Structure 1
Amino acid sequence: MSQHIQPPAPESGAAAGPAIPAAEPVAYPAEPARPGNIGLGIAAAAVTALVAAAAYGGIMNAIDRQVGYAAVGVGLLIGFAAGKLGGKNPVLPVAGALLSLGAVYLGQLFFIALALADYGNVGLGEVLDKAGVGGLTDIWQEGSDAMDYVFLAIGGFVAFGAAKKASD
């Protein structure tokens, strides 16, 4: 059981001690704005683009078709990396969108390479060595349809918005 002890009341006529001023609220300085580092933002977005392209191609190979959500994921990852690490620089959403376009495209090329390796029962390295990017691009152009371009646009659009949102 807790007891609360009150100090004795001053005797009548006795002088009260010095008055203690009320505590004033302490004002802390505002958190400084996070400076942007455009180089770090673009570098992070570029590395993320390469990883996302490989994942995108791998997902398409595993399910044997394209999925819009995967292109959205590519754009989100790249845009987030650009905006979060690069800050509010207006170049970063544009760079993120362009890198996302490239990542979705590379992912589609990677899907073609994986499919050729599976079809020919050869290693991925052999397909990349013999076909090269030019040969994979030729195959992509022959087989591409409107949806391929829609997926490119989706990735770029999402990356632009994600970069702007992540920099807030």
Structure 2
Amino acid sequence: MSQPVPPPGNPFADGAVQPEPFGAPPAPVRDNIGLGLVAALVAALVAAGVYGGIAGAIEREIGWAAIGVGFLVGFAAGKVGGPSPVLPVAGAVLSLGAVYLGQLIGIAMIVAKELNVSATDVFFNNFGLLGDAWSESKDLMTFVFLAFAAFAAFAGAKKAAE
């Protein structure tokens, strides 16, 4: 059997896709600093909650997890906001806050278990005492992991923006 001969005229009239004349169209430019900052803030809050929840559940600080928190915050900033030089710095700062907040959440959970009260009550009603407890428990490694978190956020934002 022979192949049907296409009718003369437009070869794409039957629904065939016309190829792009110069290859695939370029990817849309992600250059929205505001949206990148919002994404980094949301990622920081979520990561702080998860980090603090895990630390409170196992009743230990997980320093290496701070690197993951930092990378997540920076990656969100760079992926959503694009290649702006502001986003890696903002991601680093937000990652420091996320790790600190996560550590406070973990302390609140541990204290709540010991006192048999709600962790949210401990967190919101005694926030100053949690800060004092954090200050008393900090050591050199606390600052090392905070620095690693900030570095991971900076690197994550740069990598995601590529």
Q: TM-score, normalised by structure 1?
A: 0.80
Which piece of structure 1 moves more, 62-71 or 81-90?
Answer: 62-71
**Alpha-carbon shift at residue 67 of structure 1 (Å):** 2.2
1:137 alignment partner, one of 131, 139, 162: 131
C-alpha deviation, 1:139, in angstroms: 1.0
In structure 2, the CA distance between the partners of 1:129 and 1:91, relative to structure 1 (3 Å rule), is closer
CA contact (8 A) 2:105 2:123 kept: no
Q: Which amino acid aligns with 1:84?
A: K
Structure 1 stretches lacking a partner, 5+ long: 6-24
CA spacing shift, 1:36–1:54, aligned 2, 3 Å: same
Alpha-carbon distance in structure 1 between the residues aligned to 2:104 and 2:31:
33
Corresponding residue of 1:121: 116
Find the residue that maps to 2:103 and give its secondary structure.
helix
The answer for unaligned runs of 5 or more in structure 2 is: 4-19
Alpha-carbon displacement from aligned partner over 1:46-105 (angstroms, at most 9, x marks no partner): 011011001111111222222233111101110110000000000000000000000000
* Identical amino acids, percent of aligned pairs: 53
Match of 1:158 in 2: 152
Which residues in structure 2 correspond to 1:1-168 (within 5 Å)? 26-28=21-23, 31=26, 34-132=29-127, 134-168=128-162
Q: TM-score, normalised by structure 2?
A: 0.82
Q: Which amino acid is the alignment partner of residue 117 of structure 2? A: V
Shift in CA distance, 88/129, structure 1 to aligned 2, threshold 3 Å: closer
Instruction: Give the superposed CA RMSD.
Output: 1.9
- Letter of the aligned partner of 1:128 in structure 2? F
C-alpha distance after superposition, 1:101-154 (max 9, x if no partner): 00000011111111110110111122124312x221111111111111112111
User: Secondary structure of the equivalent of 2:72?
Assistant: helix
Aligned residues: 146
Q: 1:160 to 1:26 in 2, by over 3 A?
A: same
Kept in 1, the 8 Å contact 2:78–2:158? The answer is yes
| Larger mean Cα displacement after TM superposition, 105-114 or 67-76 | 67-76
